[in-house]
């Protein structure tokens, strides 16, 4: 099944919610330009939580539309993992690291997708 970027971002958000990811935010970067059309930012509390979230996203997307990430950067030990699907980049971050880097503010001109 083919999915557009916003549908994929929502699918990733919902998969992350299955593992109790915190503070999901989808940013629409299409108007301002960026490395992808959409960013999904989610947080976790510790390494096992981050690993569970990223694994659930990977499985959920593969089952729903047969897509695998082009690359996965980082790992749970680094407290910041990026699943790169091309049009959607999923940032799975430890809460403290997310508070430090504040990507929502860095990309503050981007529209947020709430639904």
In sign, the C-alpha dihedral spanning 9, 58, 41, 109 is negative
Q: Specify whether the CB–CB gap between 12 and 57 falls below 8 A.
A: yes
pLDDT tens per residue across all 115 residues of the chain: 668 999 999 999 999 999 999 999 999 999 998 899 999 999 999 999 999 999 999 999 999 999 999 999 999 899 999 999 999 999 999 999 999 999 999 998 999 998 7
Would you state the pLDDT for residue 28? 97
Tokens representing 9 are 């971002």
**Domains of the chain (ranges plus CATH)?**
5-113 (3.30.460.10)
* pLDDT for the residue numbered 1: 60
Q: What's the confidence (pLDDT) of residue 2?
A: 67
The pLDDT assigned to 81 comes to: 97
CB-CB contact of 56 with 62 (8 Å): no
């Amino acid at each position: 099944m083919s999915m557009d970027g916003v549908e994929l971002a929502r699918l990733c958000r919902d998969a992350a919610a299955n593992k109790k990811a915190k503070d999901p935010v989808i940013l629409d970067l299409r108007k301002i330009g960026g490395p992808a059309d959409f960013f999904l930012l989610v947080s976790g509390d510790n390494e096992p939580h981050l690993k569970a979230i990223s694994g659930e996203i990977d499985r959920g997307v593969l089952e729903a539309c047969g897509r695998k990430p082009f690359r996965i950067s980082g790992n749970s030990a680094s407290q910041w993992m990026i699943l790169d699907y091309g049009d959607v980049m999923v940032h799975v971050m430890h809460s403290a690291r997310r508070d430090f880097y504040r990507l929502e503010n860095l990309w503050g001109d981007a529209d947020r997708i709430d639904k």
